[in-house]
Chain A
Amino acid sequence: MEKLEGLPVTPFMDRDKDIRKVVQVLEQTAREILTLLQSVHQPSGFKEIPSKCQKARELFCTVRTHLGELKTKFPVDQYYRFHEHWRFVLQRLAFLAAFVVYLESESLVTREEVAQILGIEVVREKGFHLDVEDYLAGVLIMASELSRLAVNSVTAGDYSRPLRISNFINELDSGFRLLNLKNDPLRKRYDGLKYDVKKIEEVVYDLSIRGLSKELEAGGDK
C-alpha cells in the first residue's frame, strides 16, 4: 500500500543511530570526569580538590564540543522528540557540573551556570537546552554524592566540612519542598533526598556528641 509505504518511519532509525553515537562519546567523557572527581573521597584527594576541579573544567571543553555536534544531528525544533536519547547523560553532566562548582565554592550551581559549562541554552526557544527537570535531577545526584563526601570527610579528619554540607543539603531540601512534583522519575529521585539528609544529620550528630565539632569551633577561625 503506497500510502503506508510512503510514510517516513524508517529515516528516523538512521537519525537515532547518529544521535546514539554522539551520546556514547558524551557518556565516555562523563565517566572520565566522574573518575577524576570521585578521587576527592580519598583522604589524599582532599588536598588536591582545586587541581581536580581545574582538570574537570578542561574535560568539560570536550563535552561542549560533543554537545555542539549532537545539536546538528536533528531538527532544532524537535528536541523533545529525541530527548530520551540524551536525558541520562545530560543529567549526569549536570550533576558533574554541580559537583565541580560545589567543590570550588560550596555553593549551588545555577541552571544558567550549568548550561554555560556545557555550552547549551537554558531556554528551549533558543536552541538545545537544559530542561529544568534534568538540572534538578543532576542536583539530586549531587546530593547523594555529598552525603558520601560528608562521611569520608570525617574519615579523612576534616570535621568541619560535614557541618557545611549539612547546611547546604538542608537548604536544598527546603528548596525542593517548594516544588509540586508529579509521580514521575524526578519525584522518585527526590524521595531519595531524605535519606541523604538523614545520613548527613547522623554524621553531624556523631561529631557533636563526641565534641569533635566543638573542638573545631573552639580551636580556630581557619
Chain B
Amino acid sequence: MSARGEGYPRRMKTSQKTDDRDTGANLTSPVMAAFKVFQQELDTKHDKHERLVKLSRDITIESKRTIFLLHRVTSVPDVEEVLTEADLKLDGVRLNIRMIAEELRGEDLHQFHRAFTPGIQEYVEAVSFHHFIRHRTLISLEEINTKLVFVKEPEDTPESQQPMGTPQVLTFQVTPTDYLLGVADLTGELMRMCISSVGNGDMDTPFQVSMFLRQIHDGFSYIGNTGPYEVSKKLHTLRQSLSKVEDACYTLKVRGSEIPKHMLADVFSSRTAMMDQDEGMA
C-alpha cells in the first residue's frame, strides 16, 4: 500500500508517460499486464481476418476469370474444352478455399464470415455457372459442399493427434445464405449468356435459360422477405434479369420465323446494345 493513504491504490508514474508503449516500468501493474494480453489477442484476431480477406480476394479474382472463360461457350465450337479449362481453374480456387478451411480450423466461422463471404459467393456463382452449362440444372448446396471436403495426408501434420496413417479431413461448408447470394448473382451471368447466344443464332439456349431463370426466380419469390436481408435485395435485380431474358425469347418467337437465321444476329446485336446500356450489374 502506498504511504500516502488508501486513496492511491495504483502506483502510476504519471510523469513518465513515454511514447514507447512497452516500457518495462509501465508493464508492472496488473492493468498494464492485462492490456498486453488484450493486445496480443486482438492482434491475432486481426491478422487472421486479414489473411482471410486476402484469400477471399484471390478467390474472387480467379472465379471471375472462370466466369469470363465460361462465357466463351456461346461462341466457340468445342464446349468441352472450355469446360475442362474452367474445371482446372476451379480446382485452383478450391485450393484457396482449403486454405480458408485451415485458417478456420478450431474457430467459430461466423466470427470471420465477413472476411471471406465475397469470395465464396463468387465461387458459388462460377461453379453453378459451370454446372448449368454442362447439365442445364442448378447445382445443389450439397453438391457444392461435397467438392469442398479436403483430405489431409498424414505427412502434412507433424503434430497430428491421429494414429499413424489416418488422413485428417478438413471441410469448408458454404452456408445456405452464401449459396443463395451466389445463385442470385448467377442469374445475371445467365442473362448475359442468353442474350449473347441469341446474337449467335442459337435458337435453343435462350429458351432453356429463360425456363431455368424463371424457376430460380420463383424459388427466390417463395423465400421472399423471410430470408436474410441481402437475399431480398438481390430479388430486385433478379426480376430485371428475368424480364430481359423473357423479352429476348419473345422477340425470338415472334420474329424468328420471319427473319432468316443469319439476319437474326443483327436484330439482336442492336437490342443487346440497348440492354447493355441500362445494366447496372457487376
Q: Decide yes or no whether B177 CB sits under 8 A from chain A.
A: yes
| Among candidates B7, B36, B110, residue contacting A78 with C-beta atoms closer than 8 Å | B110
Given A1-B218, A136-B38, the answer on whether A9 and B231 have CB atoms closer than 8 Å is yes
Contact A164 B7, beta carbon cutoff 8 Å: yes
Given A13-B226, A178-B39, A179-B38, the answer on whether A3 and B219 have CB atoms closer than 8 Å is yes
Contact B215 A1, beta carbon cutoff 8 Å: yes
Residues of B within 8 A of A106 (CB): 9
Contact B6 A222, beta carbon cutoff 8 Å: yes
Residues of A within 8 A of B108 (CB): 77-81, 124
Q: Decide yes or no whether A168 CB sits under 8 A from chain B.
A: yes
Q: Decide yes or no whether B68 CB sits under 8 A from chain A.
A: no
Residues of B within 8 A of A160 (CB): 7
Residues of B within 8 A of A124 (CB): 108
| Among candidates B6, B34, B140, B179, residue contacting A110 with C-beta atoms closer than 8 Å | B34
Cβ of A131 to closest chain B Cβ, rounded Å: 9
Given A7-B141, A79-B108, the answer on whether A178 and B36 have CB atoms closer than 8 Å is yes
Q: Which residue of B lies closest to A135 (CB)?
A: B38
Q: Decide yes or no whether B12 CB sits under 8 A from chain A.
A: yes
Contact A3 B140, beta carbon cutoff 8 Å: yes
Cβ of A160 to closest chain B Cβ, rounded Å: 5
Contact A174 B179, beta carbon cutoff 8 Å: no
Residues of B within 8 A of A167 (CB): 8, 10, 12, 14
Q: Decide yes or no whether B92 CB sits under 8 A from chain A.
A: no
Inter-chain CA distance A10–B6, complex, in Å, is 59
Could you tell me how many residues of chain B have their Cβ less than 8 Å away from some Cβ of chain A? Answer: 49
Q: Which residue of A lies closest to B228 (CB)?
A: A9
Cβ of B130 to closest chain A Cβ, rounded Å: 16
Q: Which residue of A lies closest to B19 (CB)?
A: A177
Contact A8 B35, beta carbon cutoff 8 Å: no
Contact B34 A182, beta carbon cutoff 8 Å: no
Cβ of A15 to closest chain B Cβ, rounded Å: 13
| Among candidates B29, B36, B43, B138, residue contacting A171 with C-beta atoms closer than 8 Å | B29
Cβ of A121 to closest chain B Cβ, rounded Å: 13
Cβ of A210 to closest chain B Cβ, rounded Å: 19
| Among candidates B7, B106, B138, residue contacting A1 with C-beta atoms closer than 8 Å | B138
Residues of B within 8 A of A5 (CB): 219, 222-223
Chain A to chain B: the 9 pairs with minimum beta-carbon distance, closest first = A4-B219, A175-B35, A1-B219, A80-B110, A80-B111, A81-B110, A9-B227, A7-B176, A80-B108
